[in-house]
Structure 1
Amino acid sequence: MNWQQAQKDFENYLKIERGLSDNSIENYLLDVKKLVKFLDQNTMKISPLDIDEESLKRFVYEIAKEVNARSQARVISGLRSFFNYLQFEDYRPTNPMALIETPKIGRKLPDTLSISEIDKLIASIDLSKPEGERNRAMLETLYSCGLRVSELIGMQISDLFFEEGFIKVTGKGDKQRFVPIAPATQRLIDRYRREIRVHLSIPKEFEDTLFLNRRGKQLTRAMIFTIVKQHAIKAGVKKKISPHTFRHSFATHLLQGGADLRAIQQMLGHESITTTEVYMHLDRNDLAKVINTYHPRK
């Protein structure tokens, strides 16, 4: 088995057996490609079935010079999964990554926006332009529903259940969940559909896609990132933010408002409650408030 065949088999496994999203699969394959590139550059003709721990340690040592500990840990984790797959399929007797240690990294807290910063950012949108109504509806949906950027651009009109007060969201691995949507956000989406979207020339394959570009086609992830950054600059928000910042802010503001962590987990579409617990970064005033409110010896 050569590297090309191993990568193809691994890709099929991630897609069919694990049900991962295209973005996750791409990241796993990128880790393997980094290893293959290293072997080529060093004229190390070793197959995926024969590569040993020492060769992999050499690779890890080299990438440690180029990337930070978090990125290094990401590559090690990806390769460990790749060789786990080869071992699982009986291509190899052992996983050569098993004893290679992952660098210790602190848990990175997600960046968040304050409510006033979100208000400023939304207020900076120029509603005199057709894309203004769309951008306002999109950013409000990101924040009020806690969506991933891929979930936003993939949203369909048929996913809107406004009478019931919910939207259907297709998340990682094509897993679906229902998320409540505020009446104010519903009104912004309806206005965009009624005043802007209805005037677009839309190709047949995008007739059900909610948010569209000027050519009537689905927006890209890169375009959403650009929109967010442009409006952050215009609003004078100095933080380094992305579309995901709205999702982090959604979860943090709900938690600070007293929402149950399990409910937040369901709305975010996290499989594990551990993933949601990263939002437990309340400041000391919040913690003191909890004690003063709920402890019997307050």
Structure 2
Amino acid sequence: MKKLRLTKDEHIRLESGFKEWLAVTGYAVSTVNSLPANIREFFHWLEQENMAINDLTPAEVLRYFIYLKERPRQRKTGALSNNYLLKHLQAIKRLSDYLRNTDQESFDADIVITGDKRKIPEILSREEIKQLYEATEDSPMGLRDRAMLAVYYGCGLRRNEGISLDTGDILTDKNLLYVRNGKNYKERYVPMTAEVKEDIESYLLYGRPFLVKEEYEEAFFLTERGERPEGQSLHIRLKQLAEKAEIDKVSGLHKLRHTIATHLLESGMSLENIALFLGHESLESTQIYTHILNNDL
């Protein structure tokens, strides 16, 4: 939908402002790039219908989704998937938030899309997590691998939250990990179990000192060159561990976050506490783990 041409200056300005707002408020790069493309199609439809933002009612928004459900796909045959429609709904709801938060004319996007729900994230078993740990080595990078598992599985951090960690964020005296750069710039403290604390301290004492090249370097995770790693490098390292452990369903660091959330729910932790642990703003995001556990999606 990036090829759709907008003719109204207002829509061009809003699309640009929306993308900038998403970036400034801390959304993931993939979201910053994808949601404005969905909004472009929405604006294009408004122009075809000769409508303005202040004309929108929930009924008109619903009419747009009826249009989406009926229009053909661009590259394949058949109707648009429900996941595609849900992505559009997310984009439109965020657009209404953007307009409201920047004191512009907004609209109500409180509609519900029925049908198949989003795909259940596949998780790792406790035995597979154990196998990942057993695949690590007793070397500086091996200790970093265990710290990586501790941060992303043991503490359930998002990829960028872990990358942004500094050594000063590791509060071992309080058994806490301080997340400074969470989603939407939200801060939180994450508790560390004794096992997580041990793996993190081992890396700090016996692994990181062999990787650090500059005394002033504050990054918790370091590459072999002594630099803060990019998310992709940790992703590749996790895939290598998974291959060594002969586990073929590790698609990324977020898999560890899904896994710990489901394991905590399985152990009896309440949804409210899991939401706090993960840094979710609402229980809606956390409830997916009840579906994983019950396999009822």
Secondary structure of the residue aligned to 1:62 is: coil
| 1:21 corresponds to which of 20, 27, 30 | 27
Judged with a 3 Å threshold, the aligned counterparts in structure 2 of structure 1 residues 197 and 240 are, in CA distance, closer, same or farther, namely closer
Aligned-CA RMSD value? 3.5
Indicate whether 1:123 and 2:129 are aligned. no
Shift of 1:118: 0.4
| 1:236 corresponds to which of 229, 246, 268 | 246
Shift of 1:224: 2.1
For residues 130 and 87 of structure 2, the distance between their equivalents in structure 1, rounded to whole angstroms, comes to: 35
| 1:247 corresponds to which of 236, 249, 257 | 257
Scaled by the length of structure 1, the TM-score of the pair is 0.74
CA contact (8 A) 1:133 1:196 kept: yes
The AA in structure 2 aligned to 1:146 is: G
For residues 252 and 202 of structure 1, the distance between their equivalents in structure 2, rounded to whole angstroms, comes to: 38
For residues 86 and 32 of structure 1, the distance between their equivalents in structure 2, rounded to whole angstroms, comes to: 13
For residues 213 and 79 of structure 1, the distance between their equivalents in structure 2, rounded to whole angstroms, comes to: 39
Partner residue, 2:218 = 208
Judged with a 3 Å threshold, the aligned counterparts in structure 2 of structure 1 residues 135 and 84 are, in CA distance, closer, same or farther, namely closer
After TM superposition, the structure 1 stretch with the greater mean CA deviation from structure 2, 244-253 or 183-192, is 183-192
CA contact (8 A) 2:83 2:118 kept: no
Indicate whether 1:146 and 2:156 are aligned. yes
Partner residue, 2:19 = 11
Indicate whether 1:77 and 2:84 are aligned. no
Judged with a 3 Å threshold, the aligned counterparts in structure 2 of structure 1 residues 201 and 125 are, in CA distance, closer, same or farther, namely closer
CA contact (8 A) 1:228 1:242 kept: yes
CA contact (8 A) 1:161 1:167 kept: yes
After TM superposition, the structure 1 stretch with the greater mean CA deviation from structure 2, 67-76 or 192-201, is 67-76
Shift of 1:178: 0.8
The AA in structure 2 aligned to 1:50 is: E
Shift of 1:159: 1.1
Scaled by the length of structure 2, the TM-score of the pair is 0.74
Unaligned runs of 5+ in 1: 37-45, 285-298
For residues 2 and 244 of structure 1, the distance between their equivalents in structure 2, rounded to whole angstroms, comes to: 37
Indicate whether 1:89 and 2:95 are aligned. no
Indicate whether 1:275 and 2:285 are aligned. yes
For residues 21 and 245 of structure 2, the distance between their equivalents in structure 1, rounded to whole angstroms, comes to: 45
CA contact (8 A) 2:222 2:228 kept: yes
CA contact (8 A) 1:21 1:174 kept: no
Indicate whether 1:50 and 2:34 are aligned. no
Partner residue, 1:134 = 144
Residues 21-47 of structure 1: CA deviation (Å, up to 9, x unaligned): 2434333234346x49xxxxxxxxx97
Indicate whether 1:194 and 2:200 are aligned. no
Question: In percent, how many aligned pairs have the same letter?
Answer: 27
Shift of 1:171: 1.5
Indicate whether 1:110 and 2:117 are aligned. no
CA contact (8 A) 2:82 2:117 kept: no
